[in-house]
Amino acid sequence: MVDVRIQKVNIALAGEDARPADALRYAGDVRVEDISRPVHSAAYRVDVAQAQYQTGDGEGALATLWHTYLAAFAERHPSHRLPISNGPNVGSTQSNSAGPSHRSVTRTLASRL
């Protein structure tokens, strides 16, 4: 069932007549924790970030990408503590040497939008 919901998001974003607002509405029906493959979860989150950006929510898009990065980092480095943050540009952060600071990640993500 989760595959069908993800496909609705993909279809809403596809083609010349993309409907990012519809994609975000459909995304509300998707439970990310039900997506079994990490690469599919990451791809889905990038689609959501794209829809957020296209609807004018740049900060939301960066936050979604930040959480996608954290999930990927946690999967690759399960024994490390993650940088503590509410997301890019939100509040203060505390991090250790386990990963890059949220500022460097935010700069990288922002340069790719």
Whether the Cβ atoms of residue 95 and residue 101 lie closer than 8 Å to each other: yes
Angstrom distance (rounded) from CA 91 to CA 89 = 7
The model scores a pTM over 0.85:
no
Q: What is the pLDDT of residues 40-97, one digit of tens each?
A: 888 999 999 999 999 999 999 999 999 888 888 887 887 776 655 554 444 333 444 4
Q: What is the pLDDT of residues 6-46, one digit of tens each?
A: 999 999 999 899 999 999 999 999 998 899 888 888 899 99
Angstrom distance (rounded) from CA 44 to CA 7 = 10
How distant is the alpha carbon of residue 40 from its chain centre? 12
